[in-house]
Amino acid sequence: MSLERTFAIVKPDAVAARQAGEILAMIEKAGFRILSLRMTRLTEPQAKGFYAVHCEKPFFPGLVKFMTEGPIIVMALEREDAIRKWRETMGATNPANAAEGTIRKRFATSIERNSVHGSDAPETAETELRFFFSTADLLG
């Protein structure tokens, strides 16, 4: 399989808990190349836009509040089968269901405050990368 890109976030809970360094180390040990990386902070309109697919869900207002509460680290990651592998490295959405050795198993404190984000398909990966990065940013 050829190289693929995916989009990742270290969420506000993990940045605040100073777990970003360990999470970046786990990402590199899992074989990803960090193509681009930036610390930023989401505005409410940005968070609502980024998670628009979930706008009808009961957890949407809480999710927007959480994602805007502090700085995040946004990343473009590259490796073979990156989208699937990054989701595997993150672990299940609910840390109670996350496998041993995954980031969410290790750091997440609830189904909402679950440390990291990852794209779920090639189309969402490209849309999410474009939400934060320019073509020049993604040259690696």
Sole window of 40-48, 70-78, 109-117, 129-137 interacting with ligand IDP (rule: CB under 6 A)? 109-117
Contact flag: residue 112 with ligand IDP (CB under 6 A) = yes
Contact flag: residue 131 with ligand IDP (CB under 6 A) = no
Contact flag: residue 63 with ligand IDP (CB under 6 A) = yes
Sole window of 4-12, 13-21, 97-105, 116-124 interacting with Mg ion (rule: CB under 5 A)? 116-124
User: What mask, x for binding ligand IDP by CB under 6 A, covers residues 40 to 59?
Assistant: --------------x----x
Report the catalytic residues.
117
Contact flag: residue 120 with ligand IDP (CB under 6 A) = yes
Nearer to Mg ion, 9 or 15 (CB): 9
95 contact partners, CB below 8 Å, separation of at least 6: 104, 105, 108, 109, 110, 111, 114
- Residue 69's alpha-carbon distances to 16, 40, 62, 105, 112, in angstroms, are 10, 12, 11, 22, 13
Contacts with Mg ion by CB under 5 A lie at 120
Contacts with ligand IDP by CB under 6 A lie at 54, 59, 63, 93, 111-112, 114, 117, 120
